[in-house]
Structure 1
């Protein structure tokens, strides 16, 4: 039987796997935004929108939430012995390792470089332009994101 592109798109958008991943990511970003609002670390509307949509770093990790929800819902739908679940687990491990390890280390190094560059610039030794500080995650932020994703994946798979 012939399935139209519209029907395929509709099926994709209503898939529990897709919905759990997207919902957990958006929910993590929403929680992150609320935390920043309550602590007074949002300066204007532009920053608020950036936090809601794409700002990285902070509590909880939206990347970890997304991949954990994805992996959990795939496990429920395809089984934990399926090839796609194993692929999702490996993908989740890479994302988590990147969030807590590589990106965090890069951000800390960039912060040190910026401090060193500012000091040298103030002493007139060299001209300095700050490098971008990538915000990785602390282990607790990743853990909370993983829990959020796990519970969201379970909810979309069972309900």
Structure 2
């Protein structure tokens, strides 16, 4: 049983599609970190590590890079006429739409609610207000660059 699990893990980490997807995500996060670092928007080592590993938003979109890379790799290996490519492409479109639309709108709404809550607190109309987390979505350009990055990483891993 444990031997079978180990074989599956080995297969996963030797899969060019998996490796391409992980690489595209890390590359996007690295580029995002470099851009923020050179723009003077990184103020601590903790913030630098968060940017490299976890933080969302910014140029380029790592989520978009990953799903575009996945669709590209599946399109190359299984063909664009396969059902699994259609699935990956639809998954890509939902992820891109979420990155540029829903998460961005949620962040803008949270920002406005925080402003209202703090204003009410300052005026003494509410005793306590805890700010909502303002999730940062992506601009269309950040998503487009992420998709282009993922596309070329997928080609680089499977064609070149």
TM-score normalised per structure 1: 0.95
How many positions carry a matched residue from both structures? 157
What is the alpha-carbon distance in structure 1 between the residues aligned to residue 13 and residue 159 of structure 2? 18
Partner of 1:32: 32
Partner of 1:136: 137
SS at match of 2:118: helix
Listed one character per residue, the Cα deviations across residues 82-124 of structure 1 (whole Å, up to 9, x for unaligned) are 1110100000011001000100000000001111111111111
Q: CA deviation at 1:4?
A: 4.3
SS at match of 2:40: coil
Partner of 1:145: 146
Q: CA deviation at 1:16?
A: 1.2
Partner of 1:88: 88
What is the alpha-carbon distance in structure 1 between the residues aligned to residue 144 and residue 51 of structure 2? 20
SS at match of 1:92: helix
What is the alpha-carbon distance in structure 2 between the residues aligned to residue 77 and residue 111 of structure 1? 43
Q: Which runs of 5+ in 1 are unaligned?
A: none
What is the alpha-carbon distance in structure 2 between the residues aligned to residue 122 and residue 26 of structure 1? 42
1:1-159 alignment to 2 at 5 Å? Answer: 4-126=4-126, 127-159=128-160
What is the alpha-carbon distance in structure 2 between the residues aligned to residue 158 and residue 6 of structure 1? 28
Listed one character per residue, the Cα deviations across residues 133-157 of structure 1 (whole Å, up to 9, x for unaligned) are 0111010000000000000011111
SS at match of 2:67: helix
SS at match of 1:35: helix
SS at match of 1:134: coil
Q: Which moved more, 1:38-47 or 1:57-66?
A: 38-47
What is the alpha-carbon distance in structure 2 between the residues aligned to residue 42 and residue 119 of structure 1? 29
TM-score normalised per structure 2: 0.94
Q: Which runs of 5+ in 2 are unaligned?
A: none
